[in-house]
Structure 1
Amino acid sequence: MIYSILVVTLLLSFYTDIRSRKILNIVTFPAMLVGLIYYTITLGFEGLLFSSAGLLVGFLLLFIPYLLGGMGAGDVKLLAAVGALTGVTFVLHSFVYTALVGGVIGLILLIRRLEFKEISPLYLLSFFYLLKNLTSGNDDKPRITFPYGVAITVGTLCTFFLGGMT
Structure 2
Amino acid sequence: METLLQGMTENWTVWFVTAVLIVAAVIDGAILKVPNWLTFPFILCGWVHWTMQDGVSGLGWSLLGTVVGMMLLLVLRNVGGMGAGDVKLLAGVGAWLGTVVTLWAFAATAIVGGVMAVIMILASGQWHKHFAMAHQILHEWKTVRNPSKLATIARERKPTMTLLPYGIPMAIGSIAYFAIAGMLL
- Residue aligning to 1:158: 176
Counting matched residue pairs gives 152
CA distance in 1, matches of 2:49, 2:13: 8
- Residue aligning to 2:141: none
RMSD of Structure 2 on Structure 1 (CA): 2.6
* Secondary structure in 1 matching 2:160: coil
Percent of residue pairs bearing the same amino acid type: 34
- Structure 1 runs (4+) deviating above 2 angstroms are 113-116, 128-136
Offset at 1:51? 0.5
Task: Kindly indicate whether residue 72 of structure 2 is the aligned counterpart of residue 52 of structure 1.
Answer: no
Unaligned runs of 5+ in 2: 1-11, 139-153
1:134–1:16 Cα change, 3 Å: farther
- Residue aligning to 1:85: 96
- Residue aligning to 1:123: none
2:31 to 14, 20, 23: 20
Q: Normalization by structure 1: what TM-score?
A: 0.82
Which structure has more helix as a fraction of its residues? 2
**Cα pair 1:5 1:31 within 8 Å, conserved:** no
**Cα pair 1:40 1:46 within 8 Å, conserved:** yes
Task: Kindly indicate whether residue 39 of structure 2 is the aligned counterpart of residue 36 of structure 1.
Answer: no
Q: Normalization by structure 2: what TM-score?
A: 0.74
1:142 to 114, 138, 160: 160
- Cα deviation 1:29-82 (Å, max 9, x = unaligned): 111111111111111111111110000000000000000100000000000001
Unaligned runs of 5+ in 1: 120-127
Structure with the larger RCO, 1 or 2 (CA within 8 Å, 6+ apart): 2
- Cα deviation 1:81-117 (Å, max 9, x = unaligned): 011010000000010000000000111111122358x
* Secondary structure in 1 matching 2:67: helix
Which amino acid counterpart does residue 109 of structure 1 have in structure 2?
Answer: M
CA distance in 2, matches of 1:108, 1:15: 19
**Cα pair 1:106 1:134 within 8 Å, conserved:** no
CA distance in 1, matches of 2:83, 2:15: 25
Task: Kindly indicate whether residue 135 of structure 2 is the aligned counterpart of residue 132 of structure 1.
Answer: yes
